[in-house]
Every structure is written in C-alpha cells, then in structure tokens.
Amino acid sequence: MDLSLPPLTAEAVESAEIPEEALADWREAASRLDAYLGYWRLADPFYQRVVGVQLLALSIREWKKNPEKPPVELTMEFTQQLVEGWLERLPSASPTGERERRVAAILSLQLSRALDHWPRAFLSGAVPPELSEKLLRMALQAGPAVRFSHMVSRPIEYGPFARLAREAWEQVSWKEVGSILLFWTVLFGAACAVYFLFFSR
C-alpha cells in the first residue's frame, strides 16, 4: 500500500498517546475526519479506515509539537494539505494554476467515478495507468474566458421601483394603514347593505 503520506513509524505510534484531558477534542477530530473521508465515497471501506487511522496518528504527532492548536483544526488542515497535493499530481490536472488543477481533478474524479474502480489510488503516490488514462480523457480544458473562481452570494438589485416602494412603506404609519383599511371595510359593508336591500328581491 503506497500512500503518499509521511511514514507511520513506531515512534509516530508511540507519540500518538493522548492526554486524558484532550481525548474529547480528539474524538471530535476523528469524527470530522471520518466524515471528510466519507465525502470521497471510496469503494473500499477498509482502505478508507486505514487511511483515516494513519492520518489521525500523524496529526496527533504534529499536535505534540504544537499542543496549543485545536485538534480538529490541526487534523483537518493536515489532511486537506495532503489531499490538495495529491489532487495536483493527478494527470487530469489543468496546467493553469494550483487551485484550477485541484478543481479540474475533483470534477474529473466525480464525473468518471474513478474512486469506485480504483479506491486505493486515493492519496497513493502511484496512480494506476488505467486511472491515468481515464482521467486524461475526462480532463476539462478551460478556455481563455473560463476561470474557476470562488462564488460569493451578492444581494439582488431590484432597481429604482423597489427603492421607491421601500421608502414609501417606511414613511407610512400603522395609524394611516388602519384608517385606510377601516374606510374600505365600511365602504364594502355599505355596498353590500344597499345590494341586499334594493337588488336581492
């Protein structure tokens, strides 16, 4: 199993011993890590568990060097860094930039369902030739006018009519609204009374 991770040596395992007061935080970190790995939907649950255990042990080792950092934050940053490096090395990667290469690689993996057939390629230093060929066929070549960018929600501009309506609403008091409603209610009641008195027979 050729994982492109730092070696999980005996020293790393020994250093993974956790103080009792930090156990709750590391349980949360393990839960978040399991959820993140589950996002990739690896077809081999055993391999996913092996990767998770290795990542957690190595994260604990890094935490021993910097115990002030929250375990959840450290574990997810460590894992994300490794995953991003792996994505950039995939043959489906676009040459335009690091972020674009990662996005193109994720899209190619999802569209081709590559991890259903080669789950052990996840975070592996060696990519199977068949997987490389499939990803190259699925490679997304963005044109000069197309860029992968961060999508940020923006308020919708409704134009001057919305502004005028809002200003008019803010200037009208509830007393005036009540007076208008009362006037139309009385007028409608009077019209109904006239109809039933003179026209319903």
Q: What is the pLDDT of residues 155-188, one digit of tens each?
A: 555 555 556 556 655 665 666 667 777 888 888 8
- Inform me whether the pLDDT recorded for 7 exceeds 70: no
Residue range 92-104: average pLDDT? Answer: 71
Instruction: Note the pLDDT of residue 52.
Output: 93
Q: What rounded mean pLDDT belongs to the chain?
A: 76
Name the 3-class secondary structure at 124.
strand
pLDDT-derived band of residue 128, with 50, 70 and 90 as boundaries?
confident
* pLDDT for residue 79 is more than 90: yes
Q: Residue 124 forms beta bridges with which residues?
A: 3
The long-range contacts involving 17-25, CB below 8 angstroms and separated by at least 24 positions, are 18/60, 22/71, 25/70, 25/71, 25/72
- CA dihedral for 191, 196, 197, 199, sign (positive or negative): positive
Q: Which of 38-52, 169-183, 187-201 has the lowest mean pLDDT?
A: 169-183
Q: What pLDDT is attached to residue 144?
A: 46
CA 37 remoteness from chain centre: 13
